Amino acid sequence: MPYDPSAFPPFAVTVDLVVLTVRRHSLCALAVRRGEQPFQGRWALPGGFVRADEDLAQAAERELAEETGLCAHDPSAPAQDNGAHLEQLATYGDPKRDPRMRVVSVAHLALAPDLPAPRAGGDADGARWAPVEELLQQGGHGRDGEPVAPLAFDHAQILADGVERARSKIEYSSLATAFCPPEFTVGELRRVYEAVWGVALDPRNFHRKVTGTPGFLVPTGGTTTRQGGRPAQLFRAGGATLLNPPMLRPEV
Amino acid sequence: MPYDPSAFPPFAVTVDLVVLTVRRHSLCALAVRRGEQPFQGRWALPGGFVRADEDLAQAAERELAEETGLCAHDPSAPAQDNGAHLEQLATYGDPKRDPRMRVVSVAHLALAPDLPAPRAGGDADGARWAPVEELLQQGGHGRDGEPVAPLAFDHAQILADGVERARSKIEYSSLATAFCPPEFTVGELRRVYEAVWGVALDPRNFHRKVTGTPGFLVPTGGTTTRQGGRPAQLFRAGGATLLNPPMLRPEV
DNA sequence: GATCATAGTCGTCTTCCTGACGATAAGCAC
DNA sequence: GTGCTTATCGTCAGGAAGACGACTATGATC
């Protein structure tokens, strides 16, 4: 079969972002309001077209920076200051997922510490952090009682897949530290797990587990009382990326 | 930003397949010889263009059927007779990965029981099962001493990612049964783990683990001596898909 | 047919990890 | 100081896994 440009149909390729953070004890995702058709006025995941000279990861980093100002870094790259974790999630290519044309979207998952108010991207009316349950309940009601329209396109599915990825990945990796500021306490890390999993964890067993796993946490020497109560040691994320044995998610 | 078809560059979208099986005690992948430029005559992963009306999973199933005759099924669908496991792996979109044009490839991972000789696909000179180490050693030598050229495109990376996914996934899922015929013995399943992980496992502890995990294996009542030695019970894969606690991969 | 090699299956023992939970420490608000 | 909060250490029982002994049931070989 010789090379024949007419032998394959043209596609548009986009990246969509599932940006997760933990705010006020709940897992939140970044949503933008669509300013154009289709799904005008509906909430959607941030994203955009991949440019002609761009790698997929570069496109995702660019979109993340545009929407949040975050400087993402590859997990294989050395850790950075303001860096969020960014990884490819999955690719969605149903022929009917975009009514305008054939669009294949390479979804990425970003995990970020709690951020100030998001800034709106170019083609979006506004942006906000919303609890994932709120974004995923189709046709339900938000915290303020307003009816909530489901996310545009297949973004509810993408978000659900991203949340599931994050939930399972913090079990066997040190990724939960990506939700924390550079220095954090064991209790703050525990609240991350509790928010992502939606469960309560025993503070004593959690403390034993994370401080007993070599390379997970390194003490900085400082302490803080920003959570109230007795002063807590401050830690930074250690070099270990894989937790073995893993952190066990409680049953149901 | 109004809808403007010129606002995004056109891409070609393909699916590439990492088809793994266990043959003669080693993990093997399906490779096809390229019949055209670029990389003519080199080994590559099977794959092809996604058609205009096709979902990504459908395209992967079609390619798998074309190359192997296997009827793949979604993990969410009920188990089938001749069905291989098929799942999306990752998407590769480096602007330079194909010298002809901008191609984004959605790689899929397929796990299949040992099959008869593969049949060549449409645009391939030939196809064969090759041990993954042989395909991954760049510029090394094959089993017969012949020099081996590295896989075409970025297929070595894709294969490595697929192998790593398979290795980690059989830890916490019952996916290893996808490498086995419909009825199999505990020893045959153990040889799958040993081949995929490249380690030796204790037969007694393995037997205790798999027979003690509820829903993993269901006895069929029959026995076989096809492996020699004392007759072994035959099992089918049970309904459980997640192993909890997981099968532990030995250190190093 | 006796012996041997091969593979399968059942047990035991020790060690490690976890879940449950008591107890103490060190801040802050009043 | 009292009470409340959070952090941290310790103890104990139960479960799972690694190491490995012992026995079983075939086919192959002499």
Q: What is the pLDDT along chain A (252 residues), one digit of tens a residue?
A: 444 545 678 999 999 999 999 999 999 999 999 988 899 999 999 999 999 999 999 999 999 999 887 777 655 544 444 678 999 999 999 999 999 999 999 999 999 998 766 665 555 568 899 999 999 987 666 666 666 778 999 999 999 999 999 999 999 999 999 999 999 999 999 999 999 999 999 999 999 999 999 999 999 999 999 998 999 999 999 999 999 999 999 976
Residue B249's pLDDT is what? 94
Instruction: Return the closest-CA partner of residue A176 out of A201, A204, A196.
Output: A196
Q: Would the CB atoms of B104 and A13 count as touching at under 8 Å?
A: yes
Amino acid at B116: P
Strand partners, A48: A15
Residue A173's pLDDT is what? 96
The alpha carbon of A93 is separated from its chain's Cα centroid by a whole number of angstroms, namely 21
For A175, A204, B85, the CA distances from A211, given in Å and listed in that order, are: 15, 11, 39
Collect all residues with Cβ–Cβ distance below 8 Å to A228 and sequence separation of at least 6: none
Instruction: Return the residue in B4, B8, B33, B169 with the most chain A beta carbons within 10 A, the one to mutate for interface testing.
Output: B8
Q: What residues in A contact B102, CB-CB < 8 Å?
A: 52
Strand partners, B237: B217
Query: How far is it, in rounded angstroms, from Cα B179 to Cα A206?
Result: 38
Instruction: Return the residue in A1, A4, A13 with the most chain B beta carbons within 10 A, the one to mutate for interface testing.
Output: A13
Residue A80's pLDDT is what? 45
Within 10 angstroms of residue B39's Cβ, the number of other Cβ atoms is: 18
Instruction: Return the residue in A3, A8, A16, A247 with the most chain B beta carbons within 10 A, the one to mutate for interface testing.
Output: A8
Q: Name the nt closest to B231 by C-alpha to C1'.
A: D26
Which phi and psi angles does B214 have, rounded to 5°? -65, 135
Q: Which two three-digit tokens encode residue A164?
A: 């599931």
Q: Would the CB atoms of B104 and A101 count as touching at under 8 Å?
A: no
Q: CA A113 – C1' D2 distance (Å)?
A: 37
Residue A201's pLDDT is what? 98
Which SS3 state, helix, strand or coil, does residue A168 take? helix
Residue B81's pLDDT is what? 47
DSSP letter string, A191-212: HHHHHHHTS---HHHHHHHHHH
Say which of B9, B92, B100 has its CB closest to residue A52.
Answer: B9
Q: Is the dihedral of CA B129, B132, B133, B138 positive or negative?
A: positive
Q: What residues in A contact B14, CB-CB < 8 Å?
A: 8
With CA atoms as reference, the chain A residue closest to B101 would be A5
Which phi and psi angles does B155 have, rounded to 5°? -70, -25
Q: Name the nt closest to B243 by C-alpha to C1'.
A: D16
Q: Would the CB atoms of A90 and B95 count as touching at under 8 Å?
A: no
- Which H or E run includes B125? strand B124-131
With CA atoms as reference, the chain A residue closest to B102 would be A52
Residue B144's pLDDT is what? 65
Residue B21's pLDDT is what? 96
Find the residue closest to D10 using CA and C1' atoms: A204
With CA atoms as reference, the chain A residue closest to B56 would be A93
Q: Which residues of chain B have pLDDT under 70?
A: 1-7, 73-82, 116-125, 139-147, 252
Tell me the pairing of strands B47-49 and A217-224: unpaired
